[in-house]
Copies of this chain bind each other. A is one copy, B any other.
């Protein structure tokens, strides 16, 4: 015999098993939502399960077939949770669309996804409309009795679809499976990741249209935690009110939203009563913000890295036992890193020829990952985006450049398309930008590569001065002295009135590079 199979039950990992578990073991645990209408709505896991089954019946009645896409344009709220479970649980695909996109972007994505249905709220229903087949969600559910058995699905079946917000080219879809969602939930709930238990009250600030709110509606169901949903009200005052009134213990979001919350709290001399820890990701958390949360408010900040193509969690920064005795600033440096992988995710750093680089904390290379919650290809695409590591195929290129230390702490140093390749050495544009932004007269800074006859590429610093401030090329270049190796200092500075951004506020380096395509560096470089 060459192989022997185990004699274990063949139970698929499915989204419906998550909501069934929550309804049965935490049925009275609440889902509290600030609705678009502004009022507070109270539901619980048993009710969400009931309404998710009513929705599954409604989709059946509307002849939406298994495998078809049901799109949502919605904020974080109980109805969105019901749609997550009703759509995926019944074998259809929940396609979340960011309502903040431009109408033409929404149209492009909905057409690319071939969405069969678009879900909205009563609060968003127009008084009169010429749109055919416009149905109110709550009215739709009310027609059905919830006596519905979830189908047994192959765990590889598609469950949700989320498009990347890509700064270049058209958005691309990540088509998650039931298996990938459940495994991601196990990983996310682990003590070294989000550490979620049935005693948690979770407020996902990260939107449900952004990589499934980092999986929190699933992780909360798996653990039987209470969910608090802020709707579209992400200002400091609204969030603080929910944190306190609902006794939130855990939250997750991008750095920007924390800024608003902290400003509100500082201005009003407020403190948290129950809030203990948060995951911050999406982009790097500014060190000052992390320190303020830790020291002024006693919050454990878990720095995380991930991406749409990773469901999204890849790494989180938690210390190991051996770090206990380290000086505070060395601990802080590790907590500021992107952290270590959750079991399930493998990572490697490679050079441009696909050779793996050592985990020495300094060698920087293209970050690649693999694991059961990483995409193998984009929606409707047959082309594989995967690359090889030392000849072994099957790794997803993240587009990030990173260094990894001997314990597996990962430090993002740049986006690979932004790194400056100077004479075979790599220079991190982010590192240079972080130095420039610390100059008192600089409002915003970007570093891009410029062609160079001898070194291939050399860095060009582009800055927007603060209103009313002036700053010279020479002064800015001197500002780098002693902060970085001499050969990494930019060759030139361009002072501009503004930098190009996307609709969601991301810097468009591609447009900046086009703008400075013909820029001639000084010959001294």
Contacts and interface: CB of A to CB of B under 8 A. Distances in A.
Contacts of A8: 156, 175-177, 179-180, 372-376
Contacts of A226: 321
Interface string A411-423: 0000000000000
Given A376-B10, A378-B7, A25 B408 contact: yes
Given A186-B190, A224-B320, A4 B157 contact: yes
A158 B4 contact: yes
A18 interface: yes
A375 B192 CA distance: 29
A340 interface: yes
A320 B190 CA distance: 18
A319 interface: yes
Interface stretch (A193-201, A299-307, A446-454, A474-482): A193-201
Contact of A320 (B3, B13, B26): B26
B198 A343 contact: no
Contact of A192 (B2, B29, B154, B198): B198
A371 B341 contact: no
A441 interface: no
Contacts of A375: 7-9
A27 B322 CA distance: 12
A235 to B, nearest CB: 27
Q: Range of interface residues on chain A?
A: 35 or more
A222 interface: yes
Main secondary structure of the interface of A (DSSP, over half): loop
Contacts of A158: 4-7
User: Considering residues A5, A11, A159, A406, which has the most beta carbons from chain B within 10 angstroms of its beta carbon?
Assistant: A11
A363 interface: no
User: Considering residues A68, A157, A191, which has the most beta carbons from chain B within 10 angstroms of its beta carbon?
Assistant: A191
A25 B407 contact: yes
Copies of this protein, total: 2
Contacts of A191: 189-191, 195-197, 223
A93 B376 CA distance: 31
B320 A198 contact: yes
A485 B433 CA distance: 78
Contacts of A343: 18, 21, 186, 222-223
Contacts of A51: none
A236 interface: no
Contact of A11 (B5, B9, B190, B371): B371
A368 to B, nearest CB: 12
A372 B179 CA distance: 12
A517 interface: no
A197 B3 contact: no
Contact of A189 (B190, B222, B341): B190
A285 to B, nearest CB: 21
Contacts of A5: 154, 156-158, 177
A397 to B, nearest CB: 13
Interface in A185-228: 186-187, 189-192, 195-199, 201, 222-224, 226
Given A26-B320, A320-B26, A376-B8, A67 B190 contact: no
12 contacts: A1-B67, A3-B157, A4-B157, A8-B372, A9-B394, A13-B372, A24-B408, A183-B186, A191-B223, A192-B197, A197-B318, A224-B320
Interface of A: 1-11, 13, 18, 21, 24-29, 65-68, 91, 93, 153-154, 156-159, 174-180, 183, 186-187, 189-192, 195-199, 201, 222-224, 226, 318-322, 340-341, 343-344, 346, 370-379, 394, 396, 406-408
- 3 closest A-B pairs (Cβ-Cβ)? A6-B177, A4-B67, A191-B197
